[in-house]
Amino acid sequence: MSIVHETLKFTKTINPELSRVWEAFADPIQRARWSVPMGEAMVYEQAAFEVGGRDRYRCGPPESLDFVNIVDYSLIVPQSLVVYTETVTTSDQPLSAGVVTWSFTVSGDKTEVQLTSQVTSFVGDGMIEGNRNGHAKALNQLEEFVLDE
């Protein structure tokens, strides 16, 4: 087992206002549309966006959805902050675990989104790079999604 730790940080200023960005984040139906890379899919098996709640979803190529993600919400401050733990597995093999923080602040008539992912990979650097690329794409797609709606 090759354990790797990394703290990934991202900041993006998104148009439009905070309430629309928050709505797209808080609603699992909308989140499933913008948070996965193009060509991949996400299917929620369970969604409970509340403190103490749990999301369980499968993601990956639409024909297989081999990755299972468990998200346990530790803190939610509406239109401000979300902190959760996330565990990713495939075929019951643990791939990564971490703590993810999303913060949302008003920046003029736009929204600044800061994302910090403190991730531990159990399978080497590839999972760290997957997290880095996935979060960066998710932020870009969030912006595109809220502008298109």
Q: Which of 98, 91, 34 is nearest to 58 (CA)?
A: 91
Give the Cα separation of 102 and 146 in Å (integer).
Answer: 17
**The total number of residues written for the chain in this structure:** 149
Indicate the pLDDT class of residue 148, thresholds 50, 70 and 90. confident
Whether the pLDDT of residue 1 is over 80: the answer is: no
For 112-128, what is each residue's pLDDT tens digit?
999 999 999 999 999 99
For 33-64, what is each residue's pLDDT tens digit?
999 988 999 999 999 999 999 999 999 999 99
Indicate the pLDDT class of residue 92, thresholds 50, 70 and 90. confident
Q: Which pLDDT score is estimated for 40?
A: 92
The 10 Å CB-count burial string (b at 16+, else e) for 34-47 is: bbbbeebbbeeeeb
Secondary structure letter of residue 92 according to DSSP = T
Contact 21, 14 (CB under 8 A): yes
Q: Which of 84, 110, 116, 104 is nearest to 6 (CA)?
A: 116
* Average pLDDT for 10-25: 94
